[in-house]
Structure 1
Amino acid sequence: MSLIPTLQSERLVLRPQTADDWPAYFELMTSERARFMGGPFDQFGSWALFCHDLAQWQLFGHGALMVALKDGGTCVGQVGINHGPLFPEKELGWMVYEPHEGKGYASEAAETLRQWAFETLGLLTLVSYVDKDNGPSIRLAERLGAVLDPAAKRNDPKDLVYRHPRVV
């Protein structure tokens, strides 16, 4: 079994998910905001994805981490390295719960996990699959230094694929 790390950045703790994280995750995944991630999902679909995020650690040695504030511990979202049948390549993904958007948490968490993936897993690249209508995620991918890769494989032909070159 792969150990799930806890990572830290200036303001955040990226930690393993717990059952206590389910209600906020469920609320997001069943909302209209989940349309950028293939949703909205029902309870069964949301639970399957929640478990998928955790199971990837066992299967691939990477997965999702919950993003919590160092100051107070409030969970503000999730960041993950995704793979398996839902993702043709290892994907750096992120989501921030609505009350916490616009504060730079997704960027800080994604940079922290991406660096861990390059250094610890030895990955040479990651991609981010982004819905073509999700302007905030497109801008975030570009701020992270990812570049559009129109030739990359994708499950959804409408997704944009942003490639993150190795940065160490």
Structure 2
Amino acid sequence: MTATPPILTTDRLVLRAPQMADFEDYAALMQSERAIHMGGPFDREGAWYAFCHDTAQWLLMGHGALMVDVGDQTVGQVAINSGPLFPEHELGWLVYAGQEGKGYALEAANCIKAWARETLALPSLVSYVDHDNHRSRRLAERLGAALDPDAARPDPDDLVYRHW
């Protein structure tokens, strides 16, 4: 298990550990209507708990969230999530307002998925997606995932997309 988050790179992106300076933009997303597909919107305290959860998984489980940077701008986050809130290891993503449609989530998710496959040696990953989140559904499919109707899910209304 690695408690130190890696720095992963693609041609355009740097995926790096969350920092305190990332919280304000993260909180803004989690407090907005954009968080509706993730159980939100949250109040500031709820956003803080989620941010801490995303970060603490590295120490506790050897994986967690990485912020997605393009140049000097953070455009979102990808993560390998697990623990008591997740029946299986989840590949998750979020993109900040104004950054959609640029391929950042696809590129970042493929990058952390490859890292997870190589480093964690998991038999599979899942993505829990709200039924009404059509953009995330399309992204899961573009990542090569297929619906798994028999998989356990944290929210009975979520769709589960299985990777690998």
Superposition TM-score tier, normalisation by shorter sequence: over 0.9
Q: Deviations over 1:75-131 (max 9, x none)?
A: 000000001121110000000001111000000000000000000111120000000
1:103 aligns with 2:131: no
Which letter maps to 2:10? S
Runs of 4+ in structure 1 deviating by more than 6 angstroms, as ranges, are: none
Distance 2:140 2:88 in 1: 16
Distance 1:73 1:61 in 2: 26
Which letter maps to 2:91? L
TM-score (norm 2): 0.98
Distance 1:80 1:155 in 2: 16
TM-score (norm 1): 0.95
Match of 1:112 in 2: 111
CA RMSD of aligned residues (A): 0.8
Quick one: percent identity of the two aligned structures? 63
Matches within 5 A, 1:102-141: 102-141=101-140
Match of 2:84 in 1: 85
Match of 2:29 in 1: 28
Match of 1:149 in 2: 148
Unaligned stretches of 5+ residues in structure 1: none
Distance 2:105 2:123 in 1: 22
Distance 1:6 1:123 in 2: 20
> Which SS does the other structure have where 2:125 is aligned?
strand
